[in-house]
Amino acid sequence: MEANRHTNIPFLLSRSLLCLSWVCLISVACSDNQDTSIPNVAVSESLVIAEPSNFPLTGVGGWVYHPGGYRGLIVYRQSFAGTSDDFLAYDRACPSHYDVSCGKVVVESDNFYIACPCDSAKWYLLNGFPLSESSGILKRYSTQFVNGVVLITN
């Protein structure tokens, strides 16, 4: 019986490695790192909430356009918890048309959707999720909220 336990070690080890490989593959596929063609540029922006131009960010659902990123930024306030999760920052580059003049996304007048003028692709403002799979993924940047200042970086 002792011999059977030792002969199963290679089998168990290979099975464990296979399971670990699947876990790694799934975690990479489901990660927040978005695969977009939008060129990477250095982003280091700060928005002082108390400035008049940033007034919409004082309430949940408020948003502003801000310079930075590849084609500009949309900064959105999704909650009022006083944490870094309060804000989202999207690049204004349309994923499918980032390199053409019409490829700069805009917030629609209903303040609920972001749209690409080139092909009318849409995303939800509140989380950046596309309305259809063909819309692609908006590029997002990291945010921090410290002492009334939103810091946006990549």
Digit-coded pLDDT (tens) for 86-144: 999 999 999 999 999 999 999 999 999 999 999 989 999 999 999 988 889 999 999 99
Helix (H) or strand (E) holding 107: strand 106-107
Record the pTM: 0.76
Query: Which pLDDT belongs to residue 10?
Result: 52
87 and 11 in a single domain? The answer is no
Cα Dmax for the chain? 78
Do the domain assignments include residue 39?
no
For residue 21 the two structure tokens come to 């490989």
For 143, the domain range is 44-153
Q: Residue 55 in 3-state DSSP?
A: helix
CA distance 116 to 99: 12
Do the domain assignments include residue 77?
yes
User: What confidence tier does 82 reach under pLDDT thresholds 50, 70, 90?
Assistant: confident
Please tell me the number of Cα atoms within 13 Å of 78 on its side-chain side. 16
Count of C-beta atoms within a 10 Å radius of residue 52: 5
Q: How many domains does the chain have?
A: 2
Do the domain assignments include residue 36?
no
